[in-house]
A and B are shown apart, each in its own frame.
Chain A
Amino acid sequence: MTLRRLPWTLILFLAAVAVPWFGSRYDTFLAEQIAIDALFAVSLNLLLGTTGLVSFGHVAYFGVGAYLCGILMKTYEVPFVLAFPAAGLGSALFALVSGYFCVRLIKLYFAMLTLAFSQIVWAICYKWNDVTGGDQGLPEIPFPNLDWMNSLPGLGDLRTSDQFYILAVAIIAVSLAILHRVVRSPFGRVLTTIRDNPERAAFIGVNVRAYQLAAFVVAGAFAGFAGALYGIFSRGVFADYVFWAKSAEVMIMAILGGMGYFWGPPVGAAALVWLNQIITDYTQYWPFVLGTILLVLLFGFPGGIVGGIDLLWTRLRSRRRA
């Protein structure tokens, strides 16, 4: 099949970069939301799909990244080049500390402790008025200084928000490439082994907890990067970002796309963001629709969208061969 030979990721990246030129301002807004959610969902899926850890508090690391980057850039006027890595590093450190306790627990308790940590982060963000702005949040986070883009050919005449979009898409593409490498690396294979059979992994000499913790830290760092981008993209960081309902939402994205596939969560993110925009035009009952989608997924299509396509594809091919 020549279809398989095409560099799909490159085509997707170029298509995403081209949005500000060919689409409306609204299209760019949607594309940026999808791209950031895609990174967030892929980072969660490193735990959920690859390692088999059900984290119900992944939003905590997203939130830490968003607040760290926002506070550094707004309150302390730190440039983006420093604030952005700091946000990822802060999230990774917090993931290291909280994950150290979480990976000690078996499945359901793991989910509960991750939820507890995310609620602690939420309570701090919601109440610590002096630093996080409390229930008012941190509005008006500045865009990074993107003057250097003006000297690049073709980018000079774009709006600042579009220039930031290009930067975000580039960062997300690199992050996804790194995560893809991680999943396919020997390290990623060990994580999958742990998901499928932790006892057996321990028998062949794998330090299960250390590997789980490492996955937790990597996932936390990239969730932090996604959060940092999201805070700048939506021009503010609010305590709602850290509430547990957001953890459930990103989990729904991963499952909607298909947890068993690297590209599942991005597909789920795209589908959910797009659906949300369409449906909220017609009705205010978006949660009802989301709940119904979830029911259909759980009872009808546990493999998600990519899983469904994969199944269809395999069937078509086997029919052709016969």
Chain B
Amino acid sequence: MAASFLFSQFMGGLTTAMFLFLIASGLSLVFGIMRVINFAHGSFYMLGAYLAWQVVQWLHPEGLGFWIAALGAALGVALLGAVVERLFFRTLYGREELYQLLFTYALVLILGDAAKFLWGVGQLSVSGPPALSGSVQLFGTTQPLYNLFIIVIGPAIAFAGWLVLNRTGVGRMVRAASMDREMLDALGSNVGTIYTGMFVVSSFLAGLSGALVTPIQSIVPGMDVLIIVQAFIVVVIGGMGSVWGTFWGSVIYGQVLSFGILIFPGFSLFSVFALMAVILIVRPWGLFGKPLR
């Protein structure tokens, strides 16, 4: 096998990985703080994609238009996240995790059908930003600029997330809330606001990644369920609630998928599920996570 072929396979895996990281980081954040697997995270991602398309339809923007659409979509989804957390999720914190899981699953069902109702079942697509429409030659392979942009954005967000969580006052509060909610509450901090804030940030990330995926993939119903399974695997591998864990989990997932196709064609899907099961058996809290109390 030629080196350039391996390199292009590697870059393909890396692009997948960084996209997944954008999505999975929000899922991991909500799990780390609230101890809930938010199945609706994939639905937020899908809504981000549809909203980006909608904004482009309304504004017919030129030049910077794609970025406006992406930001608008992310903000729209963040707003929805705030409503969902304040009105519904809040009342479920004291209940068993079964009810929390099923609540997010109810959202998957409702939002999936709402998207079909609003935008139909056909494929939609959004053209990417003109500034990133070209491609560059790297080690004898052609890499689209947009993919390189995604590969840069991933680590940037991981670093920013780590910085905020570990080096700021807000981050300290968030970490405290994930460790002992009652104690923080008793000390006079507004834990409710922290929870809402984290849920909104997570929804924002989901909406943003949904909008950013539109230049590469067409928008179709069912993309919500497809992505949530992948994002779920990523956070399980890396460790729920850990930023770097999610980052490396995405990288491993992307490469296993990308090279797994070469080694066992047709069974790469199986190999990632098997990897997830092995990690859950050996280290249920993931490669980089900490065990739950």
Contact = CB atoms under 8 A, between A and B. Distances in A.
Binding partners A and B: yes
A108 B35 contact: yes
B99 A302 contact: yes
Nearest to A295: B106
A287 B101 CA distance: 17
A120 B276 CA distance: 9
Contacts of A298: 92, 99, 102-103, 106
B109 A112 contact: no
B109 A111 contact: no
Given A109-B284, A127-B267, A291 B107 contact: yes
B99 A127 contact: no
A108 B114 contact: no
B280 A105 contact: yes
Given A294-B105, A295-B106, A116 B276 contact: yes
A113 B108 contact: no
Contacts of B96: 54
Interface string A98-120: 00010011111101110111011
A117 B229 CA distance: 13
A299 B91 contact: yes
Interface string B90-101: 011000111101
A287 B112 contact: yes
A5 to B, nearest CB: 36
Nearest to B279: A116
Interface string A118-150: 011001101100000000000000000000000
A292 interface: yes
Given A120-B270, A123-B269, A298-B99, A291 B284 contact: no
A120 B233 CA distance: 12
Contact of A111 (B99, B101, B277): B101
Nearest to B272: A123
A115 B96 CA distance: 18
A248 B102 contact: yes
Per DSSP, are chain B's interface residues mostly helix, strand or loop, or mixed?
A: helix
Interface in B248-293: 266-267, 269-270, 273-274, 276-277, 280-281, 284-285, 292
Given A116-B280, A120-B273, A127-B266, A285 B117 contact: yes
Given A56-B101, A112-B236, A116-B277, A291 B35 contact: no
A120 B271 CA distance: 9
Contacts of B35: 108
Contacts of A252: 102
A182 interface: no
Nearest to B267: A127
A115 B232 CA distance: 10
Interface in B7-51: 35, 37
B273 A116 contact: yes
Looking at chain A's contact residues, the main secondary structure is: helix
Contacts of B277: 101, 113, 116-117, 120
B132 interface: no
Nearest to A56: B101
B98 A48 contact: yes
A221 interface: no
B97 A111 contact: yes
Nearest to A54: B98
B281 A294 contact: no
The residue in B88, B112, B116, B269 that gathers the most chain A C-beta atoms within 10 A of its C-beta is B269
A245 interface: yes
Contacts of B91: 299
Interface in B188-236: 225, 229, 232, 236
Contacts of B276: 116, 119
Given A54-B96, A54-B101, A291-B106, 16 more contacts: A54-B98, A108-B35, A108-B37, A108-B97, A120-B270, A123-B273, A126-B269, A127-B269, A244-B229, A287-B110, A288-B109, A288-B113, A295-B106, A298-B102, A298-B103, A298-B106
18 contacts: A54-B101, A56-B101, A101-B281, A106-B292, A108-B35, A112-B232, A112-B280, A116-B236, A116-B273, A116-B277, A124-B270, A127-B267, A285-B116, A287-B113, A291-B108, A295-B88, A298-B106, A299-B91
Interface of A: 48, 54, 56, 101, 104-109, 111-113, 115-117, 119-120, 123-124, 126-127, 244-245, 248, 251-252, 255, 285, 287-288, 290-292, 294-295, 298-299, 302
